[in-house]
Structure 1
Amino acid sequence: MIGAFVTVMLLLIVGMVMYFGSANFLNRSTQFILFFDQSVNGLLVGSPVKFRGVPVGEVKRIMIRAEGQREDSTAIPVVIEINRSRLENDLGVSRTAFAPESIHESLERGLVAQLNLESVITGQLFVEFSFEPAKAFSAETHIDHLNESIDIVEIPTLNSSLDQITADLAQIIADIKDLDLQELSENINTLIISATTQLQGLDTAAISTSITGTADEIQNFIASKQFKQSVDAMRIAFDQVSATARSFNIEEGPLADTIDTWSAQITQTLDSFDRLSNEASALIEPGSDLRHEFESMLRELVRTARSIRLLSEYIERNPNAILTGRSQEE
C-alpha cells in the first residue's frame, strides 16, 4: 500500500510539472535590454513589442538603472521579452532575427528599437523594431551602456520623434492660450455683420428687373423694323458707292485696289454684324440658357444674402458659437 501510494504521488508530481511547465517549455522566449535616452512616459510593463507592426513580445521590466550600467550613462533601461515560439510557429519564421545564434548578425544588419505611440488618446507607447542599415552595429559607432558583460544582449535604440511632437503640441496649446479669443470672436462677428449690411443694401429684385428689362429692350430693338432697315440701308449705300466707283471705270491702279479691299472688308463687317445680332437675340430671349443662368445667379445671390443675415443674427445672440459651434438643442 505504501509503495502504491508513493508511486501515485510521484506520477501526480510529474504530471503537475509537465502540465504547468509545458507552457514555458513550449513557449521559447529570449530577453533583451534596451536603453532609451528619452522619456519613457507611457511605456508600461506588458506594453507590446512589435517588429514592423507585428506583435512579437512584450515589455518585462522598466528600471532606473540596470546592473552593470556605466556611471556616465543616464539612459533608461528596459527589458523586453521576444516570443520566439510565436515567430516560428504562428508567423512562419524558421530562423528569427532574435534567435541567440543570429542576434549578432541582425545587429550587424542594423536591427534597432525605438518608441512609438500606441494610442493618441491614452498616450501609451510600444517598442518598435526595424532594420536600419545606416545604423548598423559597429564597435566604432555603437554606444554601449554596459561596462561589463552580463547575461543579456543589448539592442541599440533610436530616438523617436515623440519628444518633438510633444514639444510642438505644447507650443500650439501655448499659442492658443495667448490668443485673445474674445477679440477674435468680435472681429468675426463684425465682419459678418458688415457683409450682411452690404448685401442687404443691394436691391437684388430691382437689379434683376432692370437687367431683365434691358435684355428685353435689346431683343426688341434687334427684332424691330428700324434695326433691319438700318442694316438694309447700309447695304444699299455700300452698293451705291460700289456702283459709282465702277461708273468711273476705276478698274486698275492703286485706287482700284483700295476700293476692292474696302469692299471686301465692308461686306465682311456687315455679315459679322448680322451674325452678331442673331446670336445676341438668341442669347437674351426669354427661354435662352444665358438668361436662365443669369436669373438663377440672382436667385442664389438673394438666398446667400438671406443666409448671411440669419447667421449674423444668430451670432449676435450667441457670440460663443464662433468657437463652440451650434448647440445640439438648436
Structure 2
Amino acid sequence: TGSGVSMGGASLASLINAPIEFYTPEVLPGPPAANGSRFALYDSQSAAEAGAGGPQLTYVTYFAGPVRGLAPGTPVQMKGVPVGRVSDVRLRYIPQSATLETPVTIRIDPRKLQLPVSDFATIVDLRAAMNDALQKLVYKGMRATLASSLVLPGASGVSLEMVGRPGTAHLVMTEPPIIPAASGGAGIEGALTSLNQVAARIQNLPLEEIAGHLRSTAARMDTLVNDPALRQSLQSLNRSLAEIEKVAVLTRENVGPITQSLRNAATAAETAAGRANQLLATAPQQNYDLGQLIKELTRAADAVRALAEYLTENPDAVLKGRGK
C-alpha cells in the first residue's frame, strides 16, 4: 500500500474456518452495548483503532509536487507519532496559472495531542482550541510534508514537521482550515523529493544521478560557509562522488567497487555534515539554511549507505534492477 508493507494474521484455525476474527479489549469503559447494536468493520486493526470513537477534525493541505503512493487511510504523523489519517486525495487544475495542485484532506484526532476533549462543551469549542494550537505551531515553522521512505518508492503518509522558517506562514481559516505545505525545490523537502525520484527510478540504478544530487547539496553548503575544514570534507565527498560515476560506467557487472564507492561517499557526507554541525553550534546567530542543508546531507548519506547495504545483500540488483 502507499503506507508501506503491512502483514497481519490470526491463528491457522481461524484462517481455515472463518475469514473474520473478533476479540474483546481487556479495558472497556462505559456500559455494555445494547442488544441489536451495529458495529463498523474496518480493513485492518490499525484502521479500526484510528476510527474508534472520538472527534476527528478535518484539515487540508496542498502539495504542488507529486504525491505518489498517498491514498486515503495512510497515516498522518507529528514527530513520528500517528495523530490521524488521510481521508481524501484529489488533483485540481488551476486555470489562472495553468498548473496542477493536489489537495490532500486529513483528519486529526485531538486526543493524540493530549487535548482534554471532554472539557469542551461543543465541537466548535474543540475546533477552536485545535486551530489555536496548530496556528501557533505553523507560525513556529510546522509544515505539511510527504513522509517518505528511502527504501520503498512513493509517499508513506503525511508528516507535520518543523521545516519552515518561523513567522512566514499561518493556518488559513477556511473550511476546512489549510495547513501550509513545505515549499518544494529547495531545502530538505526539495532534497527528499529529488532523492525519492531517484529511488523511484532505482530499477536502473542511476548511480550518476545519486552522485549529482549529493554534489549539488555539497555545493550549496560550500557557498554558505567559508571554513577550510568543511571545504576539505566537501572536496573529499566530491572525490567519492566522482568515483561512483567512474565505477558506474566501468564496472556495473561487479557490485564490489560500486558498494565500496557508495560507502565512501556516505562516510564523506557524514563527515561534512558533522563539521557543519560544529560550525552551526558555535555560530553567533542561527543559520536556518545551513541547518536545513545539514539535515539534507545527513539524510542523503543515510540513503546512500542503505543502498550500499542493499546491493551487498542483493548483488543481482546491479544487473536486474532493484525489486519492487
Shared topology, TM-score over 0.5? no
Q: Judging by fraction of residues, say which structure has more helix.
A: 1
Q: TM-score, normalised by structure 2?
A: 0.39
Answer with 1 or 2: which has the greater Rg: 1
Q: TM-score, normalised by structure 1?
A: 0.38
